[in-house]
Chains A and B, each alone.
Chain A
Amino acid sequence: MSPNLLLAPILLPAALAVFFFLVPKRVRLVREILSVAGSLVLLYLAFALFEVKTLGLKIAWLGMGIDFDLRLFHFSSFILLGLAGFLFLISLYSTVKMKDNPRVREYYAYVFLSAALANGAVLSNNFVPLVFFWEGLLLTLYGLITIGGKEANRTAVKAFIISGFCDFAMILGIGLLWSITGTLTLSEISVKPEGLAAASFILMMIGAIGKAGAMPFHTWIPDAAIDAPVTFMAFMPAAFEKLLGIYLLARITLDLFQLEARTTMSIVLMSIGALTIVLAVLMALIQKDLKKLLSFHAVSQVGYMILGIGTGIPIGIAGGIFHMINHAMYKCGLFLSAGSVEHRAGTTELKKLGGLAREMPLTAAGFTVCALAISGVWPLNGFVSKEMVFRGALETGYKVFAVAAWVGAIFTFASFLKAGHSVFFGARSQDVPKVKESPSPLVIPILILALLCITFGVYNKLPLNEFIQPILAGHVEAGAHLDFTAHALSLLNPVAGISILCLIIALGLHLHGWNRAGKKAFLASEPIHNLPVLHNLYNLSEARFFDLYEQGVKFLIGLSTVLSRAVDRPIDYFFEKVVTAVGVKLTSLFQKAHNGQYANYLAWCLAGLLAIVGIVSLVVK
């Protein structure tokens, strides 16, 4: 197969993006057909490339070891496949969901451009093209969020700046890595994260987890859930960014740096993961809006992936990566279901919704499957990947991380019980008029994703052996047998037992809350919300006190003010006022001496003469 084919996953969507941008808005049919067909072609291409497995393309670019170097190997082809799949689903979904949006042209352009950039980033085997594509996603991120409407701009800027910050951190890390290893080619790098390399590792990790949306770089996601189109949420934070971020994180920990279990770096990663799981899920629990709730879960789930990869234990890493693809599927499905609800009911506020399952059975079914998957209910895919993460975490010996992960599982399930209960089950709410099931382009992707969730859970051998295992194949001792499927669906072991116990606790919590709130499902989380200390923390959090961005912007403004007032203005004051004032002062001083008196002037002359004579007679003796 020609290496030039590697350019196709980049150029094809890019060309489509340009095309979508240029065709007038009215040409709807062409656009929709082309988008679905294009994504299908891309999907096919991804399959083809997945079969090929290894391919390389290297074009001399900027000199200094900066080449346009693309490399297809198992991992990247896998991610490529995932990206193409989601692109297809989203473009199908968008044909209905986005058709009336005034900026639909831009929307399609951004989506396909994102696909092109993401593909490019995945394929890049040189840091410069990697950053080129990676950071280029900022643009489409910004553009897609602004499509949400007038208020979206603030969020867009927020997302942009947060992601930009993470990307800059990554650039710095890359720079460090370059100066350590002297090469920019990814496949040539493999260092131990020690000393400067540790700094580089941390910086690049920030870039990766920032893209994936881990804490504390997540805060734009809940905002975007409200402001941005729901398709965007399903597309970017739920699917694409997770795939990319975790892909890079896995590359960093597996290839670029030799992360070993139970090292500082490992613990750092696991801590970030654990914190993200718990804190984000606690936030998710109390949300009153479906999209916002989902968005916090999108953050929380990243924690599992980071935790899994951070363990440095094969099964943990495999679990993390598996969780990534699983999460992309069910979270995408959940967002799409939310979008479907929004499409018909016109709102996603839990309070106003209720009992929609009868009118929208397919959406409800899809949602339920996905929700159960994310909660880790046997035998869905979420269960499998979470079990692997738990095992990995336990194997490191730091049980606290496993505990955190389990705590996360409790609240995850609790919050989804609340969400599902409020929206689809329970009493039919009066706020929403009678609705129908959504049109098929909306429902089909949801169902596909739900089916995939089931498939990946039940037939977990397929993804684990086909996709995940080869990724890790090169990173364990030669000859060591890798089989992640052994315990996959087994319930008769302590780990699974604890997980199931967690689910039961969650059910209990939900029922308790539901009862306490007078059978109002959307208030089921109130008992936890109102816990003494937690309540205050929640309030602070609602006031964006913990929002790194808000605090960061305050810091930026403060710093800018200080720099301006303390450095810039004084310098200007010096030029404008001090210099002129000194000039005027000296001038007036001298001028005062010139008073028009001859006597005065003559006195100077005589004094001058005397002085000269004095000097002369002093020197000449």
Chain B
Amino acid sequence: MSVQILLLIGLVLFSVAAVLLKDLIKAAICLAAASLVLGILFFRMGAPYAGAFEISVVAGLITVLFMLTIALTKTGGDVAESKLARVAFPLFFILFLAVDVIVTKNLVQKIVALPAAPEAGAFGEVLWKQRTLDLVGQVCIIFAGVLAVLALFRKRSKDNDD
């Protein structure tokens, strides 16, 4: 349990950092880390597909992709810091979390028909039989991710060619 709490705290911290950091690369790294932690959380909570999906698409593909491309691109001008944002965001974030906690508490009480977690073995079957379109969608996302990699890295290869 404590591991999970630690992971959750890590998730929150990384997310906040991703939002607050002004350096794009660092922000991207934080986002990747947050996604990674989330993926691990999914795994630990018995949702390996979701975990794999999270890590592969969000953490793996997109964030890394951005990280790399941003790193490869010369930086633009500095973004001006705003004190207001620094104050406002944590404020709202904490508020949000607080509300979240309250709501979740209610939620857990209210949810009546929480379905049993599908068996790991049967999951593939369910996925195929019941949620074919989801699968198609996920394939699409991954495919889009791959294409995005191709697209975003084309410049470098072009540069290399030149």
The reply to whether A and B meet directly (CB within 8 Å) is yes
Whether the Cβ atoms of A596 and B79 lie closer than 8 Å is yes
B-binding segment of A301-309, A517-525, A606-614 = A606-614
A597 interface neighbour in B79, B91, B95, B103, Cβ under 8 Å: B79
Interface size class of A (residues with CB under 8 A): 10 to 19
Q: Which residues of B contact A603 (CB under 8 A)?
A: 85, 88-89, 91-93
Does B156 make an interface contact (CB < 8 A)? no
Indicate with 1 or 0, residue by residue over A590-621, a CB within 8 angstroms of chain B CB atoms.
Answer: 00000111111011001101100100000000
Does B144 make an interface contact (CB < 8 A)? no
Does B86 make an interface contact (CB < 8 A)? yes
Q: Which residues of B contact A597 (CB under 8 A)?
A: 22, 79, 81-82, 85
Q: Which residues of B contact A595 (CB under 8 A)?
A: 80, 82, 85
Does B27 make an interface contact (CB < 8 A)? yes
Q: Which residues of A contact B80 (CB under 8 A)?
A: 595-596
Q: How far, in angstroms, from A613 to B92 measured CA to CA in the complex?
A: 13
Q: Which residues of B contact A599 (CB under 8 A)?
A: 19-20, 85-86, 88-89
Whether the Cβ atoms of B84 and A606 lie closer than 8 Å is no
Q: Which residues of A contact B84 (CB under 8 A)?
A: 600
Does B150 make an interface contact (CB < 8 A)? no
Q: How far, in angstroms, from A596 to B80 measured CA to CA in the complex?
A: 8
Instruction: Say whether chain A's binding surface is mostly helix, strand, loop, or mixed.
Output: helix
Which residue of the partner chain A has the closest CB to B22?
Answer: A597
Q: How far, in angstroms, from A596 to B27 measured CA to CA in the complex?
A: 14
Does B99 make an interface contact (CB < 8 A)? yes
Q: Which residues of B contact A609 (CB under 8 A)?
A: 96
Query: A595-B80, A598-B19, A598-B27 are contacts. A606–B95 as well, Cβ < 8 Å?
Result: yes
Query: A610-B95, A610-B96 are contacts. A602–B89 as well, Cβ < 8 Å?
Result: yes
Q: How far is the CB of B92 from chain A (nearest CB, A)?
A: 4
Indicate with 1 or 0, residue by residue over B11-33, a CB within 8 angstroms of chain A CB atoms.
Answer: 00000000110100001000000
Q: How far, in angstroms, from A344 to B20 measured CA to CA in the complex?
A: 105
Q: How far is the CB of A603 from chain B (nearest CB, A)?
A: 4
Among B80, B85, B99, the most chain A Cβ lie within 10 Å of the Cβ of B85
Which residue of the partner chain B has the closest CB to A614?
Answer: B99
Q: How far is the CB of A189 from chain B (nearest CB, A)?
A: 81
Q: How far, in angstroms, from A599 to B87 measured CA to CA in the complex?
A: 9
Q: Which of A228-243 contact B (CB under 8 A)?
A: none
Q: Which of A261-304 contact B (CB under 8 A)?
A: none
Which residue of the partner chain A has the closest CB to B96?
Answer: A606
Among A603, A607, A610, the most chain B Cβ lie within 10 Å of the Cβ of A603
Which residue of the partner chain A has the closest CB to B79?
Answer: A596
Whether the Cβ atoms of B91 and A610 lie closer than 8 Å is no
Which residue of the partner chain B has the closest CB to A613?
Answer: B99
Query: A596-B79, A600-B82 are contacts. A607–B99 as well, Cβ < 8 Å?
Result: no
Whether the Cβ atoms of B99 and A600 lie closer than 8 Å is no
Q: How far, in angstroms, from A603 to B84 measured CA to CA in the complex?
A: 10
Q: How far, in angstroms, from A599 to B103 measured CA to CA in the complex?
A: 24
Q: Which residues of A contact B19 (CB under 8 A)?
A: 598-599, 602
Q: Which residues of A contact B85 (CB under 8 A)?
A: 595, 597, 599-600, 603
Q: Which residues of A contact B81 (CB under 8 A)?
A: 597
Q: Which residues of B contact A607 (CB under 8 A)?
A: 88, 92
Q: Which residues of A contact B96 (CB under 8 A)?
A: 606, 609-610
Q: Which of B69-90 contact A (CB under 8 A)?
A: 79-82, 84-86, 88-89
Q: How far is the CB of A583 from chain B (nearest CB, A)?
A: 24
Which residue of the partner chain B has the closest CB to A596?
Answer: B79
Whether the Cβ atoms of B95 and A600 lie closer than 8 Å is no
Which residue of the partner chain B has the closest CB to A595?
Answer: B82
Q: How far, in angstroms, from A596 to B79 measured CA to CA in the complex?
A: 7
Q: How far, in angstroms, from A597 to B85 measured CA to CA in the complex?
A: 7
Q: How far, in angstroms, from A142 to B70 measured CA to CA in the complex?
A: 84
Q: How far is the CB of B100 from chain A (nearest CB, A)?
A: 10
Q: Which residues of B contact A602 (CB under 8 A)?
A: 19, 89, 92-93
Among B93, B96, B103, the most chain A Cβ lie within 10 Å of the Cβ of B96
A600 interface neighbour in B27, B89, B93, B103, Cβ under 8 Å: B89
Q: How far is the CB of B80 from chain A (nearest CB, A)?
A: 6
Q: Which of B29-61 contact A (CB under 8 A)?
A: none
Q: How far, in angstroms, from A602 to B80 measured CA to CA in the complex?
A: 17
A606 interface neighbour in B20, B79, B93, B103, Cβ under 8 Å: B93
Q: How far is the CB of B97 from chain A (nearest CB, A)?
A: 10
Q: Which residues of A contact B82 (CB under 8 A)?
A: 595, 597, 600
Q: How far, in angstroms, from A517 to B20 measured CA to CA in the complex?
A: 106
The 6 A-B residue pairs with the shortest CB-CB distance, nearest first, are A600-B85, A599-B89, A597-B85, A606-B92, A603-B89, A603-B88
Chain A residues within 8 Å of B, Cβ to Cβ: 595-600, 602-603, 606-607, 609-610, 613
Chain B residues within 8 Å of A, Cβ to Cβ: 19-20, 22, 27, 79-82, 84-86, 88-89, 91-93, 95-96, 99, 103
List 6 additional A-B contacts (Cβ < 8 Å) besides A596-B80, A597-B22, A613-B103.
Answer: A599-B88, A603-B85, A603-B91, A603-B93, A610-B92, A610-B99
25 of the cross-chain contacts (CB-CB < 8 Å) are A595-B82, A595-B85, A596-B80, A597-B22, A597-B79, A597-B85, A598-B19, A598-B20, A598-B27, A599-B85, A599-B89, A600-B82, A600-B84, A600-B85, A600-B88, A600-B89, A602-B89, A602-B93, A603-B93, A606-B92, A606-B93, A607-B88, A607-B92, A610-B92, A610-B95
